[in-house]
Each structure stands twice: as structure tokens, then as C-alpha cells.
């Protein structure tokens, strides 16, 4: 089905998209009952505020943001489930609302907290159901089924009833089902939610391979920034319905000052070292963790400073965890 | 048009296969299902028969006529079960109220095609249809109706109209679930219960105003009593004895209710597309 996408057509375009909801406001006081009935108080919630975004074919994009930032709303607008209050949306050159049927034949949507599998049937029956509903040609179905079964290690669970699958197995089966029609673009809303470490690694590995080998465009939302960094090349951060950041993960770190972490192991029972321009974060079992801004204190200077301390036994320098970077970003947005 | 028809047939075939696979998933479950369906259907038939024995000349109908009407009512119930009992297709307020339309909207088929076909249960949903058809035919035989092809076709046509009328009514009231998802989630169940418990009451001796209400805005009388009278008239006398307007009333009412259901459901869908599933609505968070 990849052949059907015109070369040069972006995978999706959001042009000045706004989505507002009306939300009830009640103070819980009995004296306001009449007012609530006659003139109820409402608040307009802006889930997306003039968002413009273009994602090219073959990209792997992380779409992230705090709770209520507008991630799921965007996915629903792109899938034609919701209409934007204003603005234009095209996905694979089609309008999600007007061309819903044609579009759904070319994209895959997975809401991580829900399953598309038939609960009272074995997994393979759900796959056959999908083949009929999507009208997938036999050879395409067989090829994609074989690929998904191999890469997602499904052979043991194909005959198992969906209600008896573990969460990890269910997610793998859902992803496989998503791919049976060979979509050009997939939207994954929290695909790693609740998965254990191994299941998460399998899922991430598979999605990366799918993106690289098949050229499938992937848009994934998650709260787990470490997962997103491992998967995606580009991250779009939403804040209160606006795009607050759009770029790669290194650039995201630079936004917060290009912070690095350094772990210094010293001789037993030594106090933490006093280091210029470095902030001590914690000390535990003779391991002291500091943070420094790489743009203000280059690495060679850090190493030069450390060489003066003979009591150092080991040094490890690493990037600040993306979770911390983003948490600080969220905090700074909240304080504004 | 042809593509849509092909889609509908493909979906019907798939849901029929899934229904059969579900019914035959395990010997023990299959036997329990058959036994419970048999007991349930037997009790229903016995109940209908015993009631008819006690209601000779009740509301202007003889014992066998009541038996026929009750058989017809079961037949209509059977059509409902056959086509709409699976996956809450007949109880659409549940699908709307639980935000499950999202699952249908990400499928590359027209929404109506999926809603029409996803309840199809020709195997697990057929016992009541068979019992109802058998009882209606037995009642017709006892009344002395000569069951020729035209009369049988009319009976089938009226049965389908009555079933569609019930479905249209359920869709109309279920449209409320677009606006108050949690509060109206079970409203189609309540509506269906109303038909199930009231449709076998003959309306012959009722106050004319009440009778009119039951064959217009609350069309319970159109799901068994009214069409049974027309079928009895056509069977006992002749097809030619049927007066045109009363004969066309049920199909016309079905068309009106269906159009109203279509209008309200589409309006509800617009609301759904604008506001989404329950999350942001005051009534609906789940």
C-alpha cells in the first residue's frame, strides 16, 4: 500500500488547528442550584491553540506533553474522530473528515488503553476479522501476518483468546493487527503504557525496525520520555495546546541549558568535592552526582579540574536524563 | 452502491462465521447454551400458549388469534435477535455512551454498514426466531388461515417492518446518549424492555386516545397487535379484503420512525465529532 502515497506529500499537516471544549463549572453549593439550572457556568478549555505542524513521510515523531496538553485530542482529530474548531487538517493528502473511509484504509490507529481485539475470540480470529473489514488482499494479509508474527513473537498467542492475554501480549497483538493492512502512517497513543521492561524493549525495537525497513511514518504519544527518546528522531512537545518545542532530543536538552551529569566515585568516607560551576545533586555510598551546563563549562575543563583530585577512583559523564529535562520544562511552563 | 453492498455482504459473512466459532468454541459451553436456549424458548412458548388459553375474547380477540399475535411478537423478537443481538448493535446507546464509536470510526467502511452488520448472529441468535415463526404459523393454522405465498410474504414483510420500527425507536431514544453519555447509556435497554413487556397486550378495548398513543408516538401496538389484526384479516377473509390505508400504516410508520432516527442519529454524530466521547462532558466521565 506504500505505493499509493504520492512522493512529496507530507504524511500529515496541521494548519492553524484550534480545538476548544466547553467544561462545566460548579461550586458544589446548594444555594447555586437555581443558577446552575438557569444559567450554568461554563469554561472554555482550549485543547489545541492554533497548532501548525508538518510531518514528512518516513519520520518517527514523538508527540509528548503533560496530562491534558492535547496529545490525544490531536490523534483523534487526525483520525477523523473529532473535528477541529478551526483550521485545516490533511493526512496523506486527504481530509480525515471528508475522506475518512479512504484514509482509514491507509493509516493505523491504536489507543493504548483500549484494544481492537475481539475479547471472546482467539487473536487469529480478530486478524481475520480485520482482513474482511479492511478488505485486505490475501497475499498482503499473509505477508504482513507472517512478518508481524515473526517480529513480534506472536506464534504462541495466535490461538489464545484475547481476554486471556497479559497486557504485554495484548499490546503486541494489537500492534500486529494494526499493521495487517500495511498502513503508510500509524498513530500510537501510549503504546508502552503498563508494559514490563522486556515487553517495552520488544515493542520499541519492532517499531524502529518498521520505520526503518518499511518506511512507515510513526507518530507516537507517551508520558515516558526515555521510551520516546529511544524510538523517535524528532520530538514535538505540547504545552497547554501550543507546540512548545519541535526538534531532536539533543536540541531539547540544549533548551534547558545543555545539562550533563557527572558521577564521581571517591575514596571511602570522603566528603563531596567542591567543584566550580557544578551543582551537587546527591551523594550516596561514596558516589557523588553533579550537574553542569556543557555550554558554560566544556568537558575538557571539567576533566582538567577533576585531574587535580587524587582521591577520585572513577568518573562517569552522561547526558541529563530526558525525563528530568522535560520535568524541568513542564515545571518552568507551569510557573509562567 | 455496488461497493457498499459488497461490503455489507462481506461483513455479514464475517460476523456469521464469528458467531458460529463463538457458539462452537467448546463442547461444554455449546451444550449449556443449547440447553439454556431450549429451556428458555420452551418456557416462552408455554407461557404464550397458557396466556392465550386464559384470554379468550380478551380485547376483542379470540384465543387462537391471541396465540397468533403472541407468536408474531416472538417472531419479531427473533428477527431482532437474529440481526441485532450481537455486540450491542441493538442497544446502540451503550456503544455511544461508552465512547465505542471511536472503534467503528477507525474502520474503512461506512458507519451504517458496520452498525447494520455487527449484531448479526445467525446461529446463536436463531432459536427465538425459529420458535416465534413456528408459534405464529401454528396460531395462524389454529385460526384457520390458509397460508399461501402472498400471505406468508406479507407476514414476513410486516415482521421485518415491526423489527425495524423497534430499532428505529431505540435509535431515537439512544440519540440522547450523545449528549448525556453516562446517564443515557442504558436507555436502549429500557426501551427494548418496554416493547418486550407490553407488545403482546391487545389494544382493542382501550381508550381511543391511549390506543392512538400506542400506535403513533409510543408505537408498541405496531410491534404485534396492529400488524396481527391486518394479517388475520388478510388470512381469514382474503388479501383483497385488506383496506389500503391500514395495510400501509405499519410500513409508513416504520419509514417515518426510520427517517427520524436517521436525522437524530446524524445530528448526534455531529455532536460526537465536535465534542468527542464523554470525557469533557459534565454527565459523562467514566
| Model pLDDT, residue A335 | 67
Please check whether residue B237 lies inside any domain of the structure. yes
C-alpha cell at A148: 508481524
User: What percentage of chain B's residues is helix, strand, coil (to nearest 5)?
Assistant: 75, 0, 25
Cα-trace Rg, chain A? 24
Task: Give the nearest partner residue to B22 out of A21, A22, A120, using CB atoms.
Answer: A120
Instruction: Say which CATH class A2-253 falls into.
Output: alpha beta
A78, A12 Cβ separation under 8 angstroms: yes
pLDDT band at A334 (very low <50, low <70, confident <90, very high): low
In chain B, residues with a C-beta closer than 8 Å to the C-beta of A174 are none
Least confident of A179-193, A314-328, B138-152: A314-328
Q: Kindly provide the residue ranges of all beta strands, DSSP E only, lying in chain B, ordered along the sequence.
A: none
pLDDT band at B278 (very low <50, low <70, confident <90, very high): low
CA-closest candidate to residue B70, choices B213, B227, B187: B227
The nearest alpha carbon in chain A to B276 belongs to A82
Q: Quick one: CA dihedral A182, A186, A188, A191, positive or negative?
A: positive
Domain count, chain B: 1
CA-closest candidate to residue A152, choices A130, A174, A136: A174
Q: Kindly provide the residue ranges of all beta strands, DSSP E only, lying in A115-230, ordered along the sequence.
A: 185-189, 217-221
- Compute the distance between CA of residue B75 and CA of residue B61 in angstroms, rounded to an integer: 19
| pLDDT tops 70 at residue B245 | yes
| pLDDT tops 60 at residue A1 | no
- Compute the distance between CA of residue A4 and CA of residue B93 in angstroms, rounded to an integer: 38
- Say which residue, A218 or A284, is predicted with more confidence: A218
DSSP string across B34-47: HHHHHHHHHHHHHH
Looking up cell 563549562 gives A297
CA-closest candidate to residue A84, choices A93, A92, A75: A75
| pLDDT tops 70 at residue A336 | no
Please check whether residue B25 lies inside any domain of the structure. yes
- The domain segmentation of chain A, as residue ranges, is 2-253, 258-319
The nearest alpha carbon in chain B to A117 belongs to B103
Q: How much of chain B exceeds pLDDT 90, in percent?
A: 62
Least confident of A78-92, A252-266, B26-40, B229-243: A252-266
- Say which residue, A93 or B47, is predicted with more confidence: A93
- Compute the distance between CA of residue A281 and CA of residue A174 in angstroms, rounded to an integer: 42
Contact A135 B10 (CB under 8 A): yes
Task: Give the nearest partner residue to A121 out of B7, B22, B273, using CB atoms.
Answer: B22
| Model pLDDT, residue A96 | 93
A175, A209 Cβ separation under 8 angstroms: no
| Model pLDDT, residue B56 | 66
- Compute the distance between CA of residue B59 and CA of residue B277 in angstroms, rounded to an integer: 47
| Model pLDDT, residue B47 | 79
Reported ipTM: the value is 0.87
Q: Which residues fall within 8 angstroms of residue B159, CB to CB, at 6 or more apart?
A: B72, B75, B76, B79, B227
Residue B105: how many CB atoms within 10 A of its CB?
Answer: 21
Least confident of B62-66, B116-120, B189-193: B62-66
A222, A228 Cβ separation under 8 angstroms: yes
Rama region for B149: left / alpha / beta (φ>0; ψ in -120 to 50; rest):
alpha
Question: Distances in Å between the alpha carbon of A293 and those of A137, A255, B31, B149?
Answer: 56, 11, 72, 90
Question: How many residues are listed for chain A in this entry?
Answer: 336
pLDDT tens for A101-158 read 999 999 999 886 788 999 999 999 999 999 999 999 999 999 999 988 988 889 999 9
Task: Give the nearest partner residue to A21 out of B7, B21, B280, using CB atoms.
Answer: B280
- Nearest Cα of chain A lies from the Cα of B257 at a distance, in angstroms, of 27
Question: Distances in Å between the alpha carbon of B12 and those of A84, A89, B105, B119?
Answer: 34, 34, 18, 9
- Say which residue, A155 or B61, is predicted with more confidence: A155
Contact B11 A132 (CB under 8 A): yes
Least confident of A123-132, A152-161, A196-205, B106-115: A196-205
Inter-helix orientation angle B244-275/B149-174, to 10°: 30
- Compute the distance between CA of residue B93 and CA of residue B73 in angstroms, rounded to an integer: 23
- Compute the distance between CA of residue A126 and CA of residue A122 in angstroms, rounded to an integer: 7
A interface toward B at CB cutoff 8 Å?
21-24, 45, 73, 76, 79-83, 97, 100-105, 109, 111, 114, 116, 118, 120-121, 125, 128-129, 132-135
Please check whether residue B39 lies inside any domain of the structure. yes
Contact B108 A105 (CB under 8 A): yes
Domains A2-253 and A258-319 share a fold: no
| Model pLDDT, residue B52 | 73
Which residue out of B15, B106, B111 would a mutagenesis test of the A interface target, given it has the greatest number of A Cβ atoms within 10 Å?
Answer: B106
**What is the average pLDDT value for chain A, to the nearest integer?**
86
Contact B280 A45 (CB under 8 A): yes
Q: Which residues fall within 8 angstroms of residue A221, CB to CB, at 6 or more apart?
A: A62, A63, A64, A71, A72, A75, A188, A189, A190
pLDDT tens for A25-52 read 888 888 888 888 888 888 888 889 999 9
The model's pTM is 0.84
Please check whether residue B179 lies inside any domain of the structure. yes
Contact A105 B14 (CB under 8 A): no
Q: For the domain covering A258-319, report its CATH number.
A: 3.30.70
Contact A109 B110 (CB under 8 A): no
Please check whether residue B88 lies inside any domain of the structure. yes
C-alpha cell at A174: 494489537
Cα distance between the two ends of chain A: 46
- Say which residue, B102 or A329, is predicted with more confidence: B102
Average pLDDT over residues A147-173: 90
**What is the average pLDDT value for chain B, to the nearest integer?**
89
β partners of residue B250: none
pLDDT tens for A246-296 read 998 888 877 766 678 888 998 887 888 888 788 888 888 888 888 888 778
pLDDT band at A3 (very low <50, low <70, confident <90, very high): very low
Contact A105 B280 (CB under 8 A): no
| pLDDT tops 50 at residue B285 | no
The nearest alpha carbon in chain B to A85 belongs to B274
Cα-trace Rg, chain B? 20
- Compute the distance between CA of residue A266 and CA of residue A275 in angstroms, rounded to an integer: 14
Average pLDDT over residues A190-207: 82
Please check whether residue B286 lies inside any domain of the structure. no
pLDDT tens for B174-204 read 999 998 888 899 999 999 999 988 877 778 7
Residue B155's domain comprises 2-280
Which residue out of A109, A133, A177 would a mutagenesis test of the B interface target, given it has the greatest number of B Cβ atoms within 10 Å?
Answer: A133
Please check whether residue B138 lies inside any domain of the structure. yes
The nearest alpha carbon in chain A to B22 belongs to A121
The nearest alpha carbon in chain A to B8 belongs to A133
- Say which residue, B79 or A40, is predicted with more confidence: B79
Amino acid at each position: 500500500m506504500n505505493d499509493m502515497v504520492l512522493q512529496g506529500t507530507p504524511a500529515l499537516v496541521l494548519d492553524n488547528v484550534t480545538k476548544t471544549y466547553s467544561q462545566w463549572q460548579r461550586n458544589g453549593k446548594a444555594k447555586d442550584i437555581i443558577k446552575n439550572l438557569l444559567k450554568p457556568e461554563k469554561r472554555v478549555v482550549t485543547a489545541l491553540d492554533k497548532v501548525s505542524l508538518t510531518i514528512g513521510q518516513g519520520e518517527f515523531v514523538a508527540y509528548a506533553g503533560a496530562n491534558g496538553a492535547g496529545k490525544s485530542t490531536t490523534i483523534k482529530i487526525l483520525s477523523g474522530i473529532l473535528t477541529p474548531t478551526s483550521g485545516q487538517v490533511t493526512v496523506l493528502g486527504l481530509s480525515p473528515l471528508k475522506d475518512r473511509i479512504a484514509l482509514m484504509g491507509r493509516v493505523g490507529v491504536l489507543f493504548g488503553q483500549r484494544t481492537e481485539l475481539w475479547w471472546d475470540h482467539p487473536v487469529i480470529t480478530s486478524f481475520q476479522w480485520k482482513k474482511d473489514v479492511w478488505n485486505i488482499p490475501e497475499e498482503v494479509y499473509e505477508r504482513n501476518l507472517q512478518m508481524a508474527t515473526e517480529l513480534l513473537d506472536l506464534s504462541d498467542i495466535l490461538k489464545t483468546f484475547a481476554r486471556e492475554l497479559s497486557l504485554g501480549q495484548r499490546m503486541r497483538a494489537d500492534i500486529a493487527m494494526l499493521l495487517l493492512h500495511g498502513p503508510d502512517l500509524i498513530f500510537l497513543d501510549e503504546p508502552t503504557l503498563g508494559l514490563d521492561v522486556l515487553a517495552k524493549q520488544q515493542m520499541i525495537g519492532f517499531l524502529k525496525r518498521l520505520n526503518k525497513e518499511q518506511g512507515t511514518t510513526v507518530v507516537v504519544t507517551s508520558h515516558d520520555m526515555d521510551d520516546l527518546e529511544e524510538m523517535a528522531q524528532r520530538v514535538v512537545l505540547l504545552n497547554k495546546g501550543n507546540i512548545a518545542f519541535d526538534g531532536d532530543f539533543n536540541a531539547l536538552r540544549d533548551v534547558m541549558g545543555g545539562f550533563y551529569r557527572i558521577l564521581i566515585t571517591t575514596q571511602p568516607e570522603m566528603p563531596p568535592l567542591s567543584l566550580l560551576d557544578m551543582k551537587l545533586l546527591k551523594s550516596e555510598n561514596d558516589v557523588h552526582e553533579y550537574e553542569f551546563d556543557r555550554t558554560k563549562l566544556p568537558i575538557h575543563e571539567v576533566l582538567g579540574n577533576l585531574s587535580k583530585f587524587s582521591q577520585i577512583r572513577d568518573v562517569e559523564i552522561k547526558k541529563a536524563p530526558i525525563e528530568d529535562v522535560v520535568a524541568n520544562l513542564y515545571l518552568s511552563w507551569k510557573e509562567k | 452502491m455496488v461497493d457498499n453492498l459488497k461490503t455489507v455482504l462481506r461483513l455479514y459473512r464475517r460476523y456469521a462465521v464469528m458467531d458460529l466459532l463463538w457458539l462452537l468454541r467448546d463442547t461444554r459451553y455449546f451444550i449449556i447454551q443449547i440447553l439454556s436456549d431450549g429451556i428458555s424458548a420452551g418456557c416462552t412458548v408455554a407461557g404464550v400458549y397458557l396466556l392465550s388459553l386464559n384470554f379468550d375474547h380478551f380485547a376483542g380477540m379470540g384465543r387462537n388469534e391471541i396465540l397468533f399475535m403472541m407468536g408474531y411478537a416472538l417472531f419479531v423478537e427473533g428477527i431482532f435477535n437474529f440481526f441485532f443481538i450481537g455486540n450491542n448493535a441493538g442497544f446502540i446507546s451503550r456503544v455511544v455512551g461508552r465512547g465505542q464509536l471511536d472503534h467503528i470510526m477507525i474502520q474503512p467502511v461506512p458507519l451504517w454498514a458496520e452498525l447494520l452488520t455487527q449484531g448479526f448472529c445467525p446461529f446463536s441468535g436463531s432459536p427465538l426466531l425459529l420458535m416465534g415463526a413456528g408459534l405464529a404459523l401454528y396460531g395462524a393454522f389454529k385460526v384457520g388461515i390458509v397460508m399461501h405465498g402472498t400471505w406468508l410474504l406479507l407476514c414476513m414483510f410486516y415482521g421485518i417492518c415491526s423489527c425495524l420500527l423497534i430499532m428505529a425507536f431505540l435509535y431515537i431514544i439512544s440519540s440522547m446518549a450523545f449528549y448525556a453519555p453516562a446517564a443515557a447509556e442504558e436507555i436502549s435497554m429500557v426501551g427494548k424492555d418496554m416493547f418486550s413487556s407490553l407488545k403482546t397486550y391487545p389494544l382493542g378495548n382501550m381508550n381511543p386516545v391511549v390506543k392512538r398513543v400506542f400506535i403513533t408516538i409510543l408505537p408498541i401496538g405496531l410491534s404485534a397487535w396492529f400488524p396481527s389484526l391486518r394479517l388475520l384479516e388478510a388470512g381469514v377473509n382474503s388479501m383483497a379484503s385488506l383496506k389500503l390505508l391500514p395495510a400501509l400504516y405499519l410500513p409508513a410508520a416504520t419509514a417515518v420512525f426510520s427517517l427520524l432516527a436517521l436525522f437524530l442519529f446524524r445530528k448526534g454524530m455531529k455532536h460526537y465529532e465536535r465534542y468527542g466521547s464523554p470525557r469533557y462532558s459534565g454527565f459523562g466521565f467514566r
